[in-house]
Structure formats: structure tokens, C-alpha cells
Amino acid sequence: MSTISRDEVARVAALARIELRPDELDRLAGELDVIVESIAKVSQVATPDVPATSHPLPMSNVFRADEPQPALPVDDVLAAAPEAEDGRFAVPQILGEE
């Protein structure tokens, strides 16, 4: 049983200002029908005693604790830079400002 008609697809496409050819309207109506049927099947299975899940396996935070650490010495950091000036990274000027 078709729940999404070709006319409904055409109406929604017009509201979204999307131009569709007749063959695209027919194809999308069929694809949307499959989606609606799939949602109906899931709705039948999803009863109140089945908890909602977003992931099949439990997830845990894998980040380390955010604890203050001493900063690296400026000379060590700038040693790896392609160019440095006055204790800072030197980068090409891009905005034409002085």
C-alpha cells in the first residue's frame, strides 16, 4: 500500500523550490514509501519496555584529566618553527596591514 503519492512529492518539492522531472517524482515516491514502511516496522518493535539506545555498546570518556602542566620553553618551541621573530612565530602578511 502506497502512503506517499507522486502528487505529495511534487507538492513538497515545490515548497522546497526543487524542480523534479516526472521520473524523479515516481522514484522518490517509491523511496519515501520504503522509508515510511521501515519507520512503521521500527515503531511496532519499539515498545515502552525497550530502552532507547544511540549506540549498541556503552561509551565512556577516553580523555585524560585536564591538569595544568608547565609550558614548554619558548626556545624549544621556536626551534621547530620555519621562521621566528622577537620570540614569536613569523607568518606571511595576508591582509595588507602594517
Domain boundaries, the chain: 6-45
CATH 1.10.3470 fits domain 6-45? no
Print the SS3 string covering the chain: CCCCCHHHHHHHHHHCCCCCCHHHHHHHHHHHHHHHHHHHHHHHHCCCCCCCCCCCCCCCCCCCCCCCCCCCCHHHHHHCCCCEECCEECCCCCCCCC
Of residues 52 and 89, which shows the higher confidence score? 89
pTM of the entire predicted model = 0.47
Confidence of residue 56 (pLDDT cuts 50, 70, 90): confident
Phi, psi of 88 (to 5 degrees): -135, 165
Q: What is the pLDDT of residues 12-30, one digit of tens each?
A: 999 999 999 999 999 999 9
